[in-house]
Amino acid sequence: MTAIAARPPASPARTALLLAAGIAAVALLLPVLAPHAPNAIDLAARRVGPSAAHWFGTDDLGRDVLSRVLHGARLSLFVGLASAVVTLVLGVGVGVASGWRGGWLDTLLMRATDALLSMPRLPLLMVAAAILEPGAVALAVLVGGTGWMETARVVRADVLALRERAFIDAVRASGAAEWRILVRHLVPNAAPTIAVAATLAVGRGILLESALSFFGVGVRPPAPSWGNMLYQAQQSMTTAPWVALTPGACIFATVFVINALGVRLARSGPEVRPA
Amino acid sequence: MLQAIPLLLVVSIVGFTLLHLVPGGPLDVYLGSPNVRPEDIARLRRAYGLDQSLPVQYGAWLVGFVRGDWGYSYTDGRPVLTRLLERVPATLELMVSALSIALVVAMVVSLWRATRPRGAGAVEALSVAGISLPVFWLGLVAQLVFAVALRWLPSSGRVTYDGAGLADRLRHLVLPALVLATVHVAAWTRYLGASLDGVLSAPWMRAARSRGVPRSLLMARHALRPALLPFVTVVLLDAALLVSGAVVTESVFAWPGLGGLFAEALARRDYALLMAFLMLTSTAIVSLNLMADVAYRWIDPRLRAT
């Protein structure tokens, strides 16, 4: 049966998986490199500029900025990655259901998608996060749960095109069960689209976590995340700018790499859909 | 149009439920305060109608909202609508400036790129960088560089003192408008670039070129106009995002607009104000979406016929 089915180009899916594994590995390994404990307070060394002992200086409480950034990577990257997983599960689920089944289900799901797209996402998330005070997992669910609509749209478009293709008829004629067609043949062939959507979702998840934490409603202190380090750094912007510059540069660099990869994937795929 | 009303209802129900999920309800902030006696809280609860069931409260809120009675701010007791309306001019000023900057820069850059293929790589890299920037951090860096280190521009606020001249107001506008524009410049350059590439390879472009149409005219009239068609919708849809995106920029630059008010209301848990802001932004988004639909039909003659 696999002989009939068009084998999906493996590279985008594999690249995305490699990316996810890479991020996870970095997040797990980085804290090991930290020269100090992330929450070790040293009131004698408050707001010390970059030096040999503290490469990126210290913050208001004398905590080592480098160590906090390295530890903060874990929470920021976790929220980014986990929110992307939520986005993908919902987006691919809705997209496939909508495109494969068609009819009233398609109309209903696409109307709902349109409606959700025109919600003020950031303010709603800020209100929800302020009130629900979510932990890292709940935060990822909130961020991912409000961002699946674009993914659903592009996946649906792919499914609409794929389901008319001969190989799907061939698989069906050979007696495959419906779920098997979906899981083994339809979704793998939408992999390039899904991979691009995944990279965008990871980047956006990291940015949203940092924005929420920046307003003090995301990851709660004292646990460091790149966003909440910026929140705490606001007060000492002029006296200790390194406290704000370092975590922001980390967010930027990480999201840039992920987005650049997404652009690459989009270009190598059969159909180019700019974000 | 028909979709707009259910959407607003859904937003209002989600927002209302969220805001009343807090254990103490909207009066939660007063519970821990030593200056507020239990009987005061009971009185406030009755005054705000919080002793009634959630659906009843929602119904009352909805009736008031439709009539233009958006409730009173929990922090200073003034009508919510007044507090919002007095912030609208500042936000509009910032949004319109940011939009204009983003539009002009995106058009110039993508036209430049379309004629010089060698610049494509740099433009691509810059635009990916632009969409990867955390806006609040960009704001902080801009403040550090241009206000603190170079002292060229004021770091925050809209005016130095009340009644300051136009020059002072413009100087205050530069940094927040540029920061707010950056993300959109990046996204729009990518979009318009792709759209232009499609047009440039069209047969009528080759025909015009072979007739000897000068390059500037060729780009401005023959290429840009058709490329702008799909772009207009994107701009209008993104303008809707700008309404909520302004929250970040305004609070970083202490810009006295709606976004700044929202951040303040969030910090103080001013629920009436938060609710009103959510409704105002979703109304703005819905109307801009409708405008995008209409504009698309109006600009593209092929759609007008149907």
pLDDT digits (tens, 9 = 90+) for B86-144: 888 888 888 889 999 999 998 888 888 877 777 777 888 888 888 888 888 888 888 88
Percent of chain A with pLDDT over 90: 10
User: What is the reported pLDDT for A10?
Assistant: 47
As a whole number of angstroms, the distance between CA B149 and CA B139 comes to 14
User: What is the reported pLDDT for A29?
Assistant: 75
User: What is the reported pLDDT for A11?
Assistant: 59
Size of interface A-B (CB pairs under 8 A): 124
Chain B nearest-CA residue for A248: B137
Distance from CA of A247 to the nearest CA of B (A): 9
Taking an 8 Å cut-off on Cβ atoms, the answer to whether A237 and B148 are in contact is: yes
Given pLDDT bands bounded at 50, 70 and 90, which one contains residue A54?
low
Per-residue pLDDT, averaged over A195-220, amounts to: 86
Taking an 8 Å cut-off on Cβ atoms, the answer to whether A217 and B19 are in contact is: no
Chain A nearest-CA residue for B277: A123
Q: Which of B136, B243, B278 shows the shortest C-beta gap to A124?
A: B278
Q: Could you tell me the pTM of the whole model?
A: 0.83
Taking an 8 Å cut-off on Cβ atoms, the answer to whether B15 and A124 are in contact is: yes
As a whole number of angstroms, the distance between CA B74 and CA B269 comes to 8
User: What is the reported pLDDT for A5?
Assistant: 44
Say if residues A85 and A23 touch (Cβ distance below 8 Å): no
Give the helix, strand, coil percentages of chain B, each rounded to 5.
80, 0, 20
pLDDT for residue B238 is more than 60: yes
Given pLDDT bands bounded at 50, 70 and 90, which one contains residue A273?
very low
C-beta neighbour count of A11 within 10 angstroms: 15
Which of A114, A119, A242 is the best residue to mutate to test the B interface, defined by the most B CB atoms within 10 Å of its own CB? A119
pLDDT for residue B283 is more than 50: yes
As a whole number of angstroms, the distance between CA B106 and CA B281 comes to 25
- Span of A158-167, B213-222, B259-268, B277-286 with lowest mean pLDDT: B213-222
Give Cβ neighbours of residue B160 (< 8 Å, ≥ 6 apart).
B154, B168, B172
As a whole number of angstroms, the distance between CA A40 and CA B173 comes to 41
Closest CA to A208 of A141, A273, A263, A260: A141
Which of B7, B126, B136, B188 is the best residue to mutate to test the A interface, defined by the most A CB atoms within 10 Å of its own CB? B136
Q: Which residues on chain A are in Cβ contact (under 8 Å) with B141?
A: 245, 248
User: What is the reported pLDDT for A48?
Assistant: 67
Q: Tell me phi and psi for residue B79, to 5 degrees.
A: -60, 135
Stated length of chain A: 275
- Span of A34-43, A60-69, A105-114, A217-226 with lowest mean pLDDT: A34-43
Give Cβ neighbours of residue B294 (< 8 Å, ≥ 6 apart).
none
Rounded to two decimals, the ipTM of the complex is 0.81
- Span of B79-83, B128-132, B238-242 with lowest mean pLDDT: B238-242
Q: Which of the listed ranges A259-273, B27-41, B183-197 does the model predict with the highest average pLDDT? A: B183-197
pLDDT for residue B53 is more than 90: no
Chain A residues interacting with chain B (CB cutoff of 8 angstroms): 111, 114-115, 118-124, 126-128, 130-132, 203, 207, 210-211, 214-217, 230, 234, 237-238, 241, 244-245, 248, 251-252, 255-256, 258-260, 263, 272, 274-275
Q: Which residues on chain A are in Cβ contact (under 8 Å) with B289?
A: 118
Average pLDDT score, chain A: 80
User: What is the reported pLDDT for A274?
Assistant: 39
pLDDT for residue B298 is more than 70: yes
Helix locations, A56-120, DSSP H: 65-101, 103-117
As a whole number of angstroms, the distance between CA A196 and CA A272 comes to 10
Interface of B with A in 212-251 (CB under 8 A): 240, 243-245, 247-248, 251
Q: Which residues on chain A are in Cβ contact (under 8 Å) with B22?
A: 131
As a whole number of angstroms, the distance between CA A53 and CA A40 comes to 14
A155-A158-A164-A170 Cα dihedral, nearest 10 degrees: -80
